[in-house]
């Protein structure tokens, strides 16, 4: 294990990032850490915590800071589940998010056209119709319900399934596998039995998508898989195995993050009456509300990297093999970059937040996530003037190192 005897004593008391208080309210500690030590070795987490905006940006630009997380994930698998893991982690190794350039660029290029804003815009009408249909059933005026379970989860699922070309009859199995894969990738599958179920779900998801690719070759449709196959890169710049492996990443990435973005944005507005009123007066400001949520309380708290070789950062030396937590949740509140960073302002402009990452690993699905989140938030707050929190003091957050997501969002419609 790498030693850090050269590192000075921590300026703040160590706080475990998965402790209940840090899951509930992480920002005070992260702000203090960024102010006092924006590049900090944490013995508790066996990782560097990088919390300053410029320091995070430096890491995102540095090719020595590697995105390969497959081996650390493999190391976390309980011993008894190792035999089940070989194929599952072979699939993860084909996810572009876990690859560095030039491999990452080669894999990403296959999906570049399909994810462009102009291509995604084709799904605007479907998204708006799906939103109205779901709200008509789940958000009846005068009723009370869980907005997360009733609206924020099913709507991205509907849009992403339509976009991928998943037949409605396959939806239940498809989304079950996705939930279990999320447990694996986000580190919430703790028991050996849970790990085994998650590993098997990833294998089942790949088998399903492989069969769907074969079906779309024979019977093309109006969906992502058909579009990429028409472009001719599968079998040329990437193998079919790589393509199917990357589709498992697309399937996993689309739902959970967008669901949390919707719920977090609605929560932000319902707890700030002035900002809610602004969006209702000018519905186009729903876009600003989504962007401010991505900055201030977004669905992703950090990304994990590894030093491929020694890296000098802020007069600190990050040794080859060290884990690095790029804490974008702290960087997005850096006062050196964002004036009055703790204020939620739907009209904020200027500095670019890191809610979708930056550079080579900027979230390829950002345009689709924005399309869905903005449509849902705008319709919810503008068409439901009675929308209020049902239990403001009872909200709880998922125990995740990487994600920032509620367990439920009870509201009055």
Tens digit of pLDDT at every position of the chain (413 positions): 444 544 554 567 899 999 999 999 999 999 999 999 999 999 999 999 999 999 999 999 999 999 987 776 666 666 666 666 888 889 999 999 889 988 999 999 998 888 888 888 989 999 999 999 999 999 999 999 999 999 999 999 899 999 999 999 999 999 899 888 888 887 665 677 888 899 999 999 999 999 999 999 999 999 999 999 999 989 999 999 999 999 999 887 767 899 999 999 999 999 999 999 999 999 999 999 999 999 999 999 999 999 999 999 999 999 999 999 999 999 999 999 999 999 999 999 988 999 999 988 888 889 999 999 999 999 999 999 999 999 999 999 999 999 999 999 999 99
* 306 part of a folded domain: yes
* 4 part of a folded domain: no
The total of structural domains in the chain comes to 1
Instruction: Tokens for 127, please give them.
Output: 């998204």
* 278 part of a folded domain: yes
* 34 part of a folded domain: no
* 346 part of a folded domain: yes
* 22 part of a folded domain: no
Q: Which long-range contacts (CB under 8 A, 24 or more apart) does 14-22 make?
A: 14/42, 14/43, 14/44, 15/44, 16/44, 16/45, 17/45, 17/401, 18/399, 18/400, 18/401, 20/399
Structural domain of residue 381, as residue ranges? 44-412
- The 10 Å Cβ neighbour count of residue 191 is 10
Q: Residues with Cβ < 8 Å from 108, sequence gap 6 or more?
A: 96, 360, 364
Nearest 10 degrees: CA dihedral of 312, 299, 177, 168?
-140
CATH code (residue 81) = 1.10.630.10
The pTM (predicted TM-score) of the whole model is 0.91
* 335 part of a folded domain: yes
Between CA 293 and CA 289 the distance in angstroms is 6
* 391 part of a folded domain: yes
């Amino acid at each position: 294990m790498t030693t850090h005897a050269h590192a000075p004593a921590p300026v703040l008391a160590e706080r475990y990032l998965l402790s209940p208080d840090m899951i509930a309210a992480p920002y005070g500690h992260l702000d203090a850490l960024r102010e006092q030590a924006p590049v900090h070795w944490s013995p508790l987490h066996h990782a560097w915590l990088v919390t300053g905006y410029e320091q995070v940006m430096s890491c995102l630009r540095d090719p020595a800071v590697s995105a390969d997380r497959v081996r650390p994930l493999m190391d976390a698998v309980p011993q008894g589940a190792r035999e089940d893991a070989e194929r599952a982690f072979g699939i993860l190794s084909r996810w572009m998010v876990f690859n560095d350039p030039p491999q990452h660029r080669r894999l990403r290029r296959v999906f570049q056209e399909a994810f462009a804003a102009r291509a995604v815009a084709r799904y605007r009408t479907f998204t708006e119709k799906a939103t109205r249909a779901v709200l008509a059933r789940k958000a009846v005026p005068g009723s009370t319900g869980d907005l997360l379970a009733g609206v924020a989860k099913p709507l991205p699922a509907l849009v992403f399934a339509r976009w991928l070309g998943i037949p409605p009859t396959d939806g239940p199995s498809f989304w079950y596998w996705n939930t279990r894969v999320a447990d694996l990738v986000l580190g919430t599958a703790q028991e050996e039995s849970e790990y085994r179920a998650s590993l098997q779900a990833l294998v089942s998801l790949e088998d399903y998508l492989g069969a769907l690719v074969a079906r779309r070759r024979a019977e093309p449709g109006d969906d992502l898989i058909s579009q990429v196959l028409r472009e001719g890169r599968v079998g040329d710049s990437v193998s079919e195995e790589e393509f199917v492996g990357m589709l498992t990443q697309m399937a996993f990435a689309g739902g959970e993050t967008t669901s949390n973005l919707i719920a977090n944005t609605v929560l932000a507005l319902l707890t700030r009456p002035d900002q809610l009123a602004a969006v209702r007066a000018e519905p186009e400001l729903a876009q600003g509300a989504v962007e401010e949520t991505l900055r201030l309380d977004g669905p992703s708290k950090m990304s994990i990297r590894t030093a491929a070789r020694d890296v000098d950062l802020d007069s600190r030396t990050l040794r080859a093999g060290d884990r690095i937590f790029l804490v974008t949740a702290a960087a997005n509140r850096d006062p050196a970059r964002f004036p009055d960073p703790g204020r939620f302002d739907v009209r904020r402009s200027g500095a670019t937040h890191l809610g979708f990452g930056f550079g080579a690993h900027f979230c390829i699905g950002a345009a689709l996530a924005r399309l869905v989140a903005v449509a849902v938030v705008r319709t919810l707050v503008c068409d439901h003037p009675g929308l209020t929190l049902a239990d403001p003091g009872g909200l709880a957050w998922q125990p995740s190192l990487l994600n920032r997501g509620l367990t439920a969002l009870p509201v009055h419609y």
